[in-house]
Amino acid sequence: MPDRIRSGWAGPLAIIAVICTLVFTLSSALGARSSLASGVRSVSHSRTAALRPVNLSKLRLPVETGAAKFEVPRPGSGKGLKLGYISLGEQVPFVHLVTLNIEKEAAIAGANLKVCDSREQTDVTLQCAKTFKTQGVQAYLNFQSDSAASPSICAAGPSVPVIAIDIHQAPCEKAFMGANNLYGGLIAGMALGKYAKQNFNCKYDSYVSLEEPAAGIVNDQRMGGFRRGFQRFCPIHNLLKENAFRVDQARTVFADVLTRLTGKHRIFVAGLNDDGVVG
């Protein structure tokens, strides 16, 4: 097994990352706004009528490197194995879909899969790891977002191979499966930068980055990639980095951002995930 596995989500990730990018063109009188998703949607306002969407097919993207091809389990290949999976939190729709697919693939392989829902809580994740040790799992997948807590979680669990999902799990991580965060951020940032250049000649008031610092290198690569991509077309100024990756949290945080930016008319916003952007 390779030391690090990245998913080959280059195409879909480009769309997902761009969907997680918003552009607000704020009018001092009407507060009108437009949003960049997998293109650009213009709201009803005379100033947005001439805005041109980015043609992603004509965007000169760098070649992705380091991605691995997906593998499918051979029927019966996991027979006799007891495996564990720590879910990030089944209350999150995307995470639940991940769990359903892991269960499906484990069934095909014939492995005995033990699922533990961490409910997005570090103390529960620790208990999951301890439970796996008691159950005698032979390997487990860990999908939890607190990278700073990974050493204690590793210590609490059994000394077996660990596959990290989405967020790195040092020091027990044997392999990593997740998005190519740097590349995904880069291509989304390029789309946003191109939009800023062709519509506003890079004239704007602020660049807001909605992030999740606790995710560690995942956050740094994706949001850093956003900024690098944007800077291929426009400079970044008045950068605001905000801890906002949940819907409820982002609503509160961004309301404060808009208060701080009172009187500003054009704000570019990049988000780590769709929850932050929806908020």
Let me know: does 139 contact 160? Beta carbons within 8 Å.
Answer: yes
CB contact set of 162 (below 8 Å; sequence gap of 6+): 139, 140, 141, 142, 154, 169, 172, 173, 174
Span 2-13, average pLDDT: 36
Span 192-197, average pLDDT: 97
**pLDDT number for residue 204:** 98
Q: What is the pLDDT of residues 201-248, one digit of tens each?
A: 999 999 999 999 988 888 999 999 999 999 999 999 999 999 998 889
Q: Is the pLDDT of residue 35 over 50?
A: no
Q: What is the pLDDT of residues 69-81, one digit of tens each?
A: 888 899 999 999 9
Q: Is the pLDDT of residue 9 over 70?
A: no
| Same fold? 10-65+181-278, 82-177 | yes
The residue ranking higher by pLDDT, 214 or 6, is 214
Instruction: Show me where the domains of the chain are located.
Output: 10-65+181-278, 82-177
Q: What is the pLDDT of residues 143-187, one digit of tens each?
A: 998 889 999 999 999 999 999 998 899 999 999 998 899 999 999
Let me know: does 45 contact 31? Beta carbons within 8 Å.
Answer: no
**pLDDT number for residue 225:** 96
| CATH no. of 10-65+181-278 | 3.40.50
| CATH no. of 82-177 | 3.40.50.2300
Q: Is the pLDDT of residue 54 over 70?
A: yes
**pLDDT number for residue 18:** 38
**pLDDT number for residue 29:** 28
